[in-house]
Amino acid sequence: MKLFDVYPLFPIEPVKAEGSWLWDTEGKKYLDLYGGHAVISIGHNHPHYVDRLKDQLHKISFYSNSVKNSLQEQLAEKIGHVSDYTNYQMFLCNSGAEANENALKLASFVTGRKKIIAFTGAFHGRTSGAVAATDNPKIVAPFNAGHQIEFLPFNELKPLEEKIDSEAAAVIVEGIQGVGGIHVATNDFLELLSKKCQQVGALLILDEIQSGYGRSGKFFAHQHSAIKPDLITTAKGMGNGFPIGGVLIHPAIKPWSGMLGTTFGGNYLACAVALAVLEVIEQEDLMTNASVVGSFCKTELKKFEMVKDVRGTGLMIGFDLPESQTSLRKDLLFKHHIFTGEAKPNTVRLLPSLALKKSEVEILIEALSVEFNKWAHV
């Protein structure tokens, strides 16, 4: 059997990883500024993470959600404490799309409404409702297109006043748009959004799947503003590579037995690694590190004339290159052995581990100097 060929692949196979570094089958070493798409939060194979996972494997790895699992309770307690959402409730699942799907479903259950408001440039995942609320018609199948979704322009205030009405079950928005090219939701935008949702009885869903878990320097990116969403979705950095997602749910939303469910969500291994991630984030003060190293990186990037519009918060950074310079990401990878991310048409995205060091940023800056100097002499 062959793999279903949906991913454009780089001809590199990482077989070992540690901190912000990867090694391929030939022993070649790569600096990872992509974090496996914003997933690596505490660094590859952190020893505490490895120990926690190994310990748990020796105890019990799986049963089902029909029995008590106190690791789930410990995890909910810990996320509440680290994120400062102690009075919220947690539903655990396995991925980002699944977290958004459950949040959309919850909003619809609570309000009895169907319509969802989303934004231009949004990416919310590949499942039915999540992909319908994603602003990319190429990945929306006819089956998914039956949902009632209205897209409004991201970061524009006036349409919020005009278009959010009492037909809306929910408004879903990323704290910082990731796939869309690193665009930070402004505080004015989020605050008006929150106010409008309250006025019309719609729920506000903050998709923090890419921008959350300390990446912005605060636990959730929206915490740079004054809002408290009804639902917050999380995944990626939560398990540092182990699949886990979750929905933080406002205390006013009451569950009923069977309202949501999953077989694998909140399993022992996922909870053990997610606890390890939070312990490391706290012990190593990684949110402060993301803020400090992220600011340093942005300051250094802004010094290059070729680099346009450096944006983002903490270690979620994007910058644009001139339209003609399409080879930089490949040059960084194949000549300098540095993994980065991209967004169309010509944005480079940096989504490294939150433990990234300034000395590792300097490696990127040096590689960029070499490449930009070459361009200057073409």
Ligand X SMILES: Cc1ncc(COP(=O)(O)O)c(C=O)c1O
| Residues engaged in binding ligand X (CB under 6 A) | 37, 95-97, 100, 123-125, 174, 178-179, 207, 209-210, 235
In angstroms, the CA 124 to CA 175 distance is 12
CB 101 within 8 A of CB 262: no
Query: Residue 269, Cβ neighbours under 10 Å: how many?
Result: 21
* Nearer to ligand X (CB atom), residue 8 or residue 258: 8
* Nearer to ligand X (CB atom), residue 90 or residue 209: 209
Smallest gap, in angstroms, from Cβ of residue 1 to ligand X? 24
> Reduced to 3 states, what is the DSSP secondary structure of residue 38?
helix
Smallest gap, in angstroms, from Cβ of residue 117 to ligand X? 16
In angstroms, the CA 92 to CA 242 distance is 13
Classify each residue of 286-298 as buried b or exposed e, where b means 16 or more C-beta atoms within 10 Å of its C-beta: bbebbbebbebbb
Smallest gap, in angstroms, from Cβ of residue 177 to ligand X? 8
* Nearer to ligand X (CB atom), residue 36 or residue 43: 36
* Nearer to ligand X (CB atom), residue 184 or residue 367: 184
* Nearer to ligand X (CB atom), residue 172 or residue 321: 172
Torsion, Cα 334 337 340 343, to 10 degrees, reads: -10
In angstroms, the CA 134 to CA 120 distance is 8
* Nearer to ligand X (CB atom), residue 207 or residue 371: 207
Smallest gap, in angstroms, from Cβ of residue 30 to ligand X? 21
Alpha helices in the chain (DSSP H): 35-38, 47-59, 70-83, 96-111, 128-132, 158-163, 187-200, 268-283, 286-302, 328-334, 358-376
* Nearer to ligand X (CB atom), residue 149 or residue 368: 149
Smallest gap, in angstroms, from Cβ of residue 178 to ligand X? 4
* Nearer to ligand X (CB atom), residue 121 or residue 337: 121
Residue whose Cβ sits closest to ligand X: 96
Smallest gap, in angstroms, from Cβ of residue 211 to ligand X? 7
CB 149 within 8 A of CB 136: no
Would you state the structure tokens that stand for residue 43, as one six-digit string? 């660094």
Smallest gap, in angstroms, from Cβ of residue 338 to ligand X? 21
Query: Is 333 exposed, middle or buried (CB count within 10 Å of its CB: 0-12, 13-18, 19+)?
Result: middle
Closest CA to 16 of 6, 26, 1, 3: 26
CB 164 within 8 A of CB 151: no
Smallest gap, in angstroms, from Cβ of residue 339 to ligand X? 16
